[in-house]
Chains A and B, each alone.
Chain A
C-alpha cells in the first residue's frame, strides 16, 4: 500500500461571523493516494471551498490534523506554508488568474520565481516544457488577451505543473468554459493523471465529475458520499462524439 499524499483526520473549520460561529467543516476525514483523481462535489455552502483552501494550505483547520506528503501542516508558520504552496501544490482557478499583459511563458514561470533554487535558465526551460505538455508550445509569447478561455486555462494548468507538485488542486476549473472546451481541459487532466499526477478537483457539474476516478460529496460540512466513479468517461472519446463545429 502506498503512503497517502493527503491525510485528513476529523477536520473542523469554524468561522466567527459577529457573535455567531459558523461551522464550515464538522469533522471531515479522508485520504488521497498518489495517482488519484478525486472530485469534490457539493452545493454552495457545503464546505467544499473551505476544504479546498485547507488542502491548498491557504487556510488552517480549527481542529484536526492535516498531513500533506507526510508533513503536519498545522504546525507550520505562514512562511513555511508559502513554501509548501510553492513546491508541493499546483493551483488552478475558475477565472484562470493569469497576469494580464504578461506572456504565457512568463505566467508559467511565476511559481519558480519564488523558488530561489531554480536558476533563470532552468526556469525558462521548465516553463517551456510545461507549456508543451498542455499543447501550447506555439503560444509561448502570447499574452492572455490573445488567448481563448480554454487556452488561458491550459496556461494556468501549465503554471500549476511547472513546480512538479505532489498534487494539483483545481477550483471549478471548467466553470467558465463551454462543453467542448471543458472536455478538452478534462482531456489534459486525464492525460496528466495517466502520467501519475494526483489531482483534486472541485466542481458542481456531475458530468465533469464522471471524468475522475473518485467522487467525494460534501454536505453541510460532512462527507456524505465517497465512492469510486462508475462508468468513468474518457474525454478523448467524448470529444469525438460531440458534433463538429466548422
Chain B
C-alpha cells in the first residue's frame, strides 16, 4: 500500500466530481475565511487598543481618589475628594517616578473674539506634557514659575485652536476667556487624535493647576494625580512605591481599604485587552460553527460517494486493495477536500481582511497562528468527518459490492 498512489487515486476522484467537490468545500471555505477574518479583526482591535493606551504615555501612572474601580456603585462624594496637593508634594520625592503632575479639571465655555466653544480645562503642572509624551506645535508649555505666580496662561489643544481661531490665525499671545476668566494663550499642543474610548484628546485646554484650582474651580482637592515611571519595566514597582507613599500620607490603617487607587497603563492594557479577547473568542466560536457545518457537509458527501462507488470499491478489493487502503483512499479524499477548502478559505479570509482594513478602515492584524490553526482544524475536520463513511466503504464485502446495482 502506497500513500502516494492512494493520494493520486483520491485526487482523481475529486477531479472527476469537480462541482460537487467545490460545493462540499464551500462550507469549509466559508468557515475558515470567517475564522481568519474574525481573528484578524479581533487581534487588530486588541493591538489598536494597546497602541492607543501606550500613546497616552506608555509608562504613565494614574492615581485616582476613591476605593476600588467598582463601576456602577454609589460612591460617597467625600471619598472622591481624598487627593490633596500634599499628596502631590509627597510623590515628587518618589524615587521610581520621573515626573508627577496634579490634575484638576472642569468643563465650561471658552470664548475668543466672536467664537465660543465648550471644552474641558485641565489644571496641571508643567511636567504634564512629558508624562503624556505630548509635544507642542507652537509656543511653549508654562513653567513652574507660572504655577507659583498663579499665572493665567494656557496651552490649547488642536481642536480648541481650530474652533476659536481657525486654522490660519496664530493664537499665541491671544486672550481666551474661560468662564469669564481671561487666559493668555502661550502654546498649542500637537494633534493627538481620538483616544481608545473615542474621545477627542485635542479638545482640551491646559493651564497651571494653581490657576484652575483657585480662579475657576475654587476647590482644594485634586481629581487625580498623573505620574510617569522611570521606565516602562519599572511601572509595577512605581505603582507599589506610590501606593506605599500615599498610604503613609493618608495614614490608612491596615484593616481599611485605601481611599485612592493607583494603576499603570499596563494594567489598563490588560483590562481592555481581556475585554477584546472575550469578543474575539465569541466571534471565533460563531465562525467555528460554520466550520462544523462544513464538516458535516463533507461527511454527507463522502457518505453518498462511498454509496455510489460501491461497485468501484468491490472491484478495487477484487484486484487487491486491502480494507485499509480503501479506508485510506476515502479518508485522503475527504482530507484533500477539506485542506483544499482550507487553502481557498485562507485566501478568501485574507481578502476579506484586506477589504475590511482598506474599505471599512478597521484595524486588523493577521497572525500566522490563525492560519496554522485553521489548517490543523481543516485536516482534523477532514479526518473526523471522513472517517465514518470511509470505514463504511472499507467494511464492504467485495462479493456483495461487485453485485451492487
A34-58 interface bits toward B, Cβ cutoff 8 Å, 1 = contact, 0 = none: 0000000000000000000100101
- Are B2 and A99 in contact (CB-based, < 8 A)? no
Query: 3 closest A-B pairs (Cβ-Cβ)?
Result: A86-B320, A82-B322, A111-B319
Q: In this assembly, does B14 line the interface, its C-beta being within 8 Å of a C-beta of chain A?
A: no
- Are A110 and B319 in contact (CB-based, < 8 A)? yes
Given contacts A82-B317, A82-B322, A86-B319, contact A114 B399 (CB under 8 A): no
CB-contact partner of A58 in B12, B311, B399, under 8 A = B399
- Are B398 and A113 in contact (CB-based, < 8 A)? no
Contacts of A236 in B (CB 8 A): none
Given contacts A53-B399, A82-B317, A116-B1, contact A97 B311 (CB under 8 A): yes
Contacts of B398 in A (CB 8 A): 58
Pairs A–B under 8 Å by Cβ, sample size 21: A56-B318, A58-B317, A78-B323, A79-B324, A82-B322, A86-B321, A87-B320, A91-B318, A93-B315, A97-B311, A97-B402, A102-B16, A111-B319, A113-B9, A114-B316, A114-B319, A114-B325, A115-B320, A116-B1, A159-B319, A163-B319
Contacts of A114 in B (CB 8 A): 1-2, 5, 316, 319-322, 325
A114, B9: Cα distance in complex, Å? 11
A86, B319: Cα distance in complex, Å? 5
State which residues 318-344 of B face A: CB under 8 Å: 318-325
A110, B12: Cα distance in complex, Å? 13
CB-contact partner of A79 in B8, B9, B319, B322, under 8 A = B322
Contacts of B316 in A (CB 8 A): 110, 114
CB-contact partner of B320 in A85, A93, A100, under 8 A = A85
A113, B328: Cα distance in complex, Å? 14
- Are B2 and A116 in contact (CB-based, < 8 A)? yes
Contacts of B318 in A (CB 8 A): 56, 58, 85, 91
A220 CB to nearest chain B CB (Å): 20
Residue in B closest to A109 when the chains form the complex, CB atoms: B5
Q: In this assembly, does B241 line the interface, its C-beta being within 8 Å of a C-beta of chain A?
A: no
A99, B325: Cα distance in complex, Å? 17
A83, B8: Cα distance in complex, Å? 20
Q: In this assembly, does B312 line the interface, its C-beta being within 8 Å of a C-beta of chain A?
A: yes
Point out which of B312, B318, B319, B399 has the most chain A C-beta atoms below 10 A from its C-beta.
Answer: B319
Contacts of A99 in B (CB 8 A): 312, 315
Where the two chains meet, the residues of B that have a C-beta atom closer than 8 Å to any C-beta of A are 1-2, 5, 8-9, 12, 16, 311-312, 314-325, 398-399, 402
A82, B318: Cα distance in complex, Å? 8
Contacts of A82 in B (CB 8 A): 317, 320-323
Contacts of A93 in B (CB 8 A): 315, 402
Contacts of B314 in A (CB 8 A): 97
A159, B320: Cα distance in complex, Å? 12
A56, B399: Cα distance in complex, Å? 10
B376 CB to nearest chain A CB (Å): 29
Residue in B closest to A86 when the chains form the complex, CB atoms: B320
A157-186 interface bits toward B, Cβ cutoff 8 Å, 1 = contact, 0 = none: 001000100000000000000000000000
A78 CB to nearest chain B CB (Å): 6
Q: In this assembly, does A101 line the interface, its C-beta being within 8 Å of a C-beta of chain B?
A: yes
- Are B399 and A97 in contact (CB-based, < 8 A)? no
A114, B1: Cα distance in complex, Å? 6
Given contacts A102-B12, A113-B9, contact A97 B320 (CB under 8 A): no
Contacts of A58 in B (CB 8 A): 317-318, 398-399
B145 CB to nearest chain A CB (Å): 89
Point out which of A82, A83, A86, A93 has the most chain B C-beta atoms below 10 A from its C-beta.
Answer: A82
B315 CB to nearest chain A CB (Å): 5
Contacts of A59 in B (CB 8 A): 399
Residue in B closest to A96 when the chains form the complex, CB atoms: B315
Contacts of A111 in B (CB 8 A): 319-320
Point out which of A87, A99, A111, A116 has the most chain B C-beta atoms below 10 A from its C-beta.
Answer: A99
- Are B319 and A85 in contact (CB-based, < 8 A)? yes
Contacts of A159 in B (CB 8 A): 319
Point out which of A58, A97, A113, A159 has the most chain B C-beta atoms below 10 A from its C-beta.
Answer: A113
Residue in B closest to A97 when the chains form the complex, CB atoms: B315
- Are A101 and B320 in contact (CB-based, < 8 A)? no
Other contacts beyond A79-B324, A163-B319: 15, CB < 8 A: A56-B318, A78-B323, A79-B322, A83-B320, A83-B322, A85-B318, A86-B320, A97-B311, A97-B402, A101-B16, A102-B16, A110-B319, A113-B2, A114-B320, A115-B320
A200, B12: Cα distance in complex, Å? 33
A16, B136: Cα distance in complex, Å? 97
B195 CB to nearest chain A CB (Å): 63
A100 CB to nearest chain B CB (Å): 8
A223, B54: Cα distance in complex, Å? 94
Contacts of B16 in A (CB 8 A): 100-102
A110, B329: Cα distance in complex, Å? 13
Residue in B closest to A50 when the chains form the complex, CB atoms: B399
A21, B314: Cα distance in complex, Å? 26
Residue in B closest to A123 when the chains form the complex, CB atoms: B5
Contacts of A79 in B (CB 8 A): 322-324
A79 CB to nearest chain B CB (Å): 5
Contacts of B312 in A (CB 8 A): 99
A85, B398: Cα distance in complex, Å? 12
Contacts of A113 in B (CB 8 A): 2, 5, 8-9
A159, B315: Cα distance in complex, Å? 11
A58, B16: Cα distance in complex, Å? 28
A171, B5: Cα distance in complex, Å? 28
Residue in A closest to B12 when the chains form the complex, CB atoms: A102
A159, B321: Cα distance in complex, Å? 14
- Are B319 and A91 in contact (CB-based, < 8 A)? yes
Contacts of B5 in A (CB 8 A): 113-114, 116
Residue in B closest to A160 when the chains form the complex, CB atoms: B319
